[in-house]
Amino acid sequence: MRPELIHPMLVHFPIALLFTGVFVRIAALWTKNKPIFCFLLPASWMILILGVITAWSAVIAGEIAREIVESTLENLRVLDEHENHAYITASGFTIGLLIDWTRVFLLAKFQKKGWVVKKGLAVVLWFFYLFSLANLVVTGIYGATLVYEQGAALRKATH
């Protein structure tokens, strides 16, 4: 097994999990006053946790793949941008999840829910989630450019 191929096998998990996690989190926000949908918030967290874990796994595998394929590439700027956006994505979702937990903890802990906890942290939280989601798309675009335009980790078939 070629180690540089582990990265493209792993990247599909954070893509699916992080997109799904954010959409389930939005559904949890919209249905927060309906007890029948109380499972959505913890479900979104579980999906986002798995997404963050797989995102960092993909970043680590990407570092290994970089060492192997960078000598075969024509334009290393694309590889650098792919790597930078991958780090921004994984970090952003990690921070967003921590803010989400902190906000819910503070809302449950203190009866006097000030503007900072109710609205301020919510704005920061959604900034991180949506910014990170946009970065996930950009990361994928750069990754596709590496494979389909520069042939990263591709070998010609031999018969």
Q: What is the pLDDT along the chain (159 residues), one digit of tens a residue?
A: 889 999 999 999 999 999 999 999 999 999 988 999 999 999 999 999 999 999 999 999 999 999 999 999 999 999 999 999 999 999 999 999 999 998 888 887 776 667 666 778 889 999 999 999 999 999 999 999 999 999 888 876 566
Q: Which of 148, 9, 1, 152 is nearest to 67 (CA)?
A: 152
The answer to whether residue 130 is domain-embedded is yes
pLDDT of res. 108: 79
Structural domain harbouring 103: 3-148
The answer to whether residue 153 is domain-embedded is no
The answer to whether residue 158 is domain-embedded is no
Angstrom distances, CA of residue 108 to CA of 21, 28, 62, 105: 22, 16, 39, 5
Into how many domains does the chain fold? 1
pLDDT of res. 107: 80
The answer to whether residue 92 is domain-embedded is yes
Structure tokens at 147: 């494979």
Structure tokens at 95: 């921070």
pLDDT of res. 65: 95
The answer to whether residue 144 is domain-embedded is yes
The answer to whether residue 156 is domain-embedded is no
| pTM (predicted TM-score) | 0.90
Return d(Cα 143, Cα 11) in angstroms, integer: 10
